[in-house]
């Protein structure tokens, strides 16, 4: 058996949910020689992990970071620091997403990195009444005027795509995950499902889909070893109505008229009472279901958990805390 060439992988956002999962997974992979952890906070010490402090919105040490990446022979760079849910500080959100990504891409252009991986979301397709039953990687990306979080998410994807058009020696991979659930997942949907009383939009019951965090990590690990160009939807099999997800969580749905929901959502969001701002309400009205066929064909990605199993794993892990 031919031994795989060992990889040196840089990851942004290692103190956050997804970046932390990737860090821990790569530690256990023999083909991964070193992990370069790029974050504001240092990770738990491990012989494989080398830490370099960064703040995406303040990249003053670009030359130092450039030397750090090349000194350790980094050829794979994963941008996982992108927040998985909206933030209340919109200015900082923009700096982390759009501005921070611009800094990183300018930096990577000067290094020997040959594979760039962006952690994104299927929410970039938007939730509208005109969405098809299944959204593919070629579907238009939409963000409502009042959703700066998704505007910036789409902008980051476009920055990566533009970079790939001008750096043909670098493989650009974008993984668009649907809602990630599991034992440790943290997204706006996990906070939403942990409320005792869950507000819903009266008269609407959209289809939702989930992917297990372990399946997400499997997709990343495969992609690191076998680079593929392009965007890929990473989703679990099957969908369910939002009402079923709420029932499985043993919570009570509280239907709210759509106009009232939009009016009060931002006030409750800023007061930390609601887990979603008004910009996310569209996802409680309309379906945003992505097709995973391309990832199956090109990445050979077969999720172990379907949407319902991913939800049950999350619910079982948190029932003891409630």
Q: What is the pLDDT of residue 181?
A: 94
State residue 190's pLDDT score.
84
Q: How far is CA 50 from CA 34, 47, 60, in A?
A: 7, 8, 20
Instruction: Give every CB contact of residue 173 below 8 A, 6+ residues apart in sequence.
Output: 115, 116, 117, 118, 223, 227, 228, 229, 230, 231, 232
Bridge pairing between strands 240-241 and 207-208 = antiparallel
Write down the pLDDT at residue 98: 84
Could you tell me the pTM of the whole model? 0.93
What integer pLDDT is reported at residue 36 of this predicted model? Answer: 97
pLDDT given at position 88:
60
Contacts 24+ apart (CB under 8 A), 43-51: 43/14, 43/15, 49/23
| Rounded CA separation 305/315 (Å) | 14
Q: Which residues pair with 240 in a beta bridge?
A: 208
pLDDT for the residue 19: 95
Q: Which domains does the chain have, with CATH numbers?
A: 7-185+211-236+290-305 (3.40.50.720)
Give the Cα separation of 152 and 144 in Å (integer).
12
Quote the CA–CA distance of 103 and 7 in Å, as a whole number: 24
Tokens of 148: 């700066």
Q: What would the two tokens of residue 168 be?
A: 């043909």
Can you give the chain as a three-state secondary structure string? CCCCCCEEEEEECCCCHHHHHHHHHHHCCCCEEEEEEEECCCCCCCCCEEEEECECCECCCHHHHHHHHHHCCCCEEEECCCCCCCCCCHHHHHHHHHHHHHHHHHHHCCCCCCEEEEEEEHHHHCCCCCCCCCECCCCCCCCCCCCHHHHHHHHHHHHHHHHHHHCCCCEEEEEEECEEECCCCCCHHHHHHCCCEEEEECCCCCEECEEEHHHHHHHHHHHHHCCCCEEEEECCECCEEHHHHHHHCCCEEEEECHHHHHHHHHHHHHCCCCCCCHHHHHHHCCCCCECCHHHHHHHCCCCCCEHHHHHHHHHHHHHCCC
Which ranges of the chain have pLDDT less than 70?
1-4, 59-61, 83-90, 144-146, 269, 271-275, 320-322
What does the pLDDT read at residue 187? Answer: 79
Residue 161: per-residue pLDDT: 97
- Would you say 253 and 198 are in contact if contact means Cβ atoms under 8 Å apart? yes
- Rounded Cα–Cα distance for residues 181 and 295 (Å): 19
Tokens at residue 160, please? 């990566």
Q: From residue 143, how far is each of 128, 150, 159, 232 by CA, in Å? A: 10, 6, 16, 19
Model pLDDT, residue 60: 61
In whole angstroms, give the CA distance from residue 272 to residue 84.
17
Query: Tokens 């759509």 belong to which residue?
Result: 258
């Amino acid at each position: 058996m031919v031994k795989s060439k060992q990889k040196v992988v840089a990851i942004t956002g290692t103190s956050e949910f997804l970046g932390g999962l990737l860090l821990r997974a790569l530690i256990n992979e023999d083909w991964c020689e070193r992990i370069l952890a790029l974050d504001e906070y240092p990770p738990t010490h491990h012989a494989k992990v080398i830490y370099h402090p960064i703040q995406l919105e303040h990249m003053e040490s670009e030359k130092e970071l450039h030397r750090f990446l090349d000194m350790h022979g980094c050829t794979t760079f994963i941008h996982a620091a992108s927040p998985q849910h909206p933030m209340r500080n919109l200015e900082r959100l923009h700096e982390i997403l759009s501005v921070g990504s611009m800094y990183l891409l300018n930096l990577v252009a000067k290094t020997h990195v040959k594979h760039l991986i962006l952690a994104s979301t299927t929410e970039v397709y938007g939730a509208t009444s005109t969405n098809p039953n299944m959204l593919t990687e070629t579907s238009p990306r939409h963000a409502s005027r009042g959703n700066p979080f998704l505007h910036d998410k789409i902008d980051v994807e476009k920055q990566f795509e533009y970079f790939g058009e001008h750096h043909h020696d670098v493989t650009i991979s974008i993984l668009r995950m649907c809602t990630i659930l599991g034992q440790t997942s943290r997204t706006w949907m996990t906070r939403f499902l942990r409320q005792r009383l869950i507000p819903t939009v009266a008269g609407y019951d959209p289809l939702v889909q989930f992917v297990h965090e372990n399946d997400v990590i499997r997709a990343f690990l495969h992609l690191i070893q076998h680079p593929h160009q392009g965007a890929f939807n990473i989703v679990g099999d099957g969908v369910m109505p939002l009402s079923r997800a709420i029932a499985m969580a043993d919570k009570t749905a509280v239907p709210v008229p759509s106009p009232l929901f939009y009016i009060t959502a931002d006030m409750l969001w800023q007061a930390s009472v609601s887990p979603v701002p008004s910009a996310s309400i569209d996802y409680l009205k309309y379906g945003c279901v992505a097709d995973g066929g391309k990832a199956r064909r090109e990445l050979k990605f077969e999720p172990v958990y379907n949407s319902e199993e991913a939800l049950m794993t999350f619910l079982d892990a948190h029932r003891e805390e409630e």
